[in-house]
A and B are shown apart, each in its own frame.
Chain A
Amino acid sequence: NAGVTQTPKFQVLKTGQSMTLQCAQDMNHEYMSWYRQDPGMGLRLIHYSVGAGITDQGEVPNGYNVSRSTTEDFPLRLLSAAPSQTSVYFCASTPDRGSYEQYFGPGTRLTVT
């Protein structure tokens, strides 16, 4: 199993541009999440999904959209990038809502200039 994969590894955007961060998992996990990691702030939940077709907002959802059309994929869209969205983004998956352990991808480092 590849586990949780994320692309790209690095990305530089100009303010106002849009892009999609890709996340995929091959473990048939129901539950998937997106976090952003900023120095001293830990990881903060952006959006999550408890299954295909079901998404919900986390702690810091503004400026981001998600969709979950398949169990495997959970892309994160930045609608109009801002410098405040400069961060490292992690996707994670969990077998189901009753499970506690989250499996994280390797991350995408995003810089918005």
Chain B
Amino acid sequence: QQQVKQSPQSLIVQKGGIPIINCAYENTAFDYFPWYQQFPGKGPALLIAIRPDVSEKKEGRFTISFNKSAKQFSLHIMDSQPGDSATYFCAASQRAAGNKLTFGGGTRVLVKP
């Protein structure tokens, strides 16, 4: 039973396009929602994160939108570049459970020049 469901599995966009990745969660006790970026042959690295009391967070070209009532959150990559080509994972954690991360299945994003 996957507690964090991520879609789509893969995405191809042209340079300058806006890839959008969606995640849905079931556990309403989750209180931290990070996105990790992973390049081939590397470990994941934290990209951006949001808490459920905020509906949107922007860091550079990356934006998280959060809908608490729908239990959904999404990542938008504005003005995407070929260097953004990577696998993106959403995740969720709960402070009361020791901040253990539960990951979505991942989305492979390819940005064509």
A74 within 8 A of B: no
In the complex, what distance in Å separates the CA atom of A100 from the CA atom of B93? 8
A106-B105 contact, Cβ under 8 Å, with A98-B99, A100-B49: no
A101-B46 contact, Cβ under 8 Å, with A41-B105, A45-B100, A50-B98: yes
- A100 partner, pick from B9, B43, B89, B99, beta carbons under 8 A: B99
CB-based nearest A residue for B98: A97
Contact: B101 with A102, CB < 8 Å?
yes
A40-B106 contact, Cβ under 8 Å, with A90-B43, A106-B43: yes
- B46 partner, pick from A43, A45, A102, beta carbons under 8 A: A102
Within 57-113 of B, Cβ neighbours of A (below 8 Å) are at: 89, 91, 93, 95, 98-101, 103-106
Counting chain A residues whose Cβ lies within 8 A of the other chain, the interface size class is 20 to 34
In the complex, what distance in Å separates the CA atom of A77 from the CA atom of B40? 25
Contact: A58 with B43, CB < 8 Å?
no
Contact: B43 with A4, CB < 8 Å?
yes
Closest 8 CB pairs of A and B: A104-B43, A42-B103, A43-B103, A42-B105, A40-B105, A101-B46, A104-B44, A100-B32
B: which residues have CB within 8 A of A? 4, 6, 9, 32, 34, 36, 41-46, 49, 89, 91, 93, 95, 98-101, 103-106
